[in-house]
Amino acid sequence: MIDRGHRELPIQPDFCGKQVLTNKDQNIELRLKSLDKIEGVFLV
C-alpha cells in the first residue's frame, strides 16, 4: 500500500509500504510483469 497523503477524512492506514508525496493531480500506477510486460510502481 502506498500512502499519498491528501486526506479528506480523519483516517490513515495502520500499515504503509511506502509514503510518496504527490500533487492531487498525480496518480501512482502499479504495473505487473504478468499483465503489463513491465514491473514497477510509477508516478504519472
Q: Backbone phi, then psi, for 35, in 5-degree steps?
A: -110, -40
- Residue 36: helix, strand or coil by DSSP? helix
The pTM of this model reads 0.57
Q: Do residues 21 and 6 lie in contact, with contact meaning Cβ atoms separated by under 8 Å?
A: no
Query: Which pLDDT score, from 0 to 100, does residue 7 have?
Result: 75
pLDDT, tens only, 18-38: 888 888 899 889 899 999 999
Considering only CA atoms, which of 1, 3, 6 is closest in space to residue 25? 6
Query: Which pLDDT score, from 0 to 100, does residue 37 have?
Result: 93
Domain ranges of the chain: 2-43
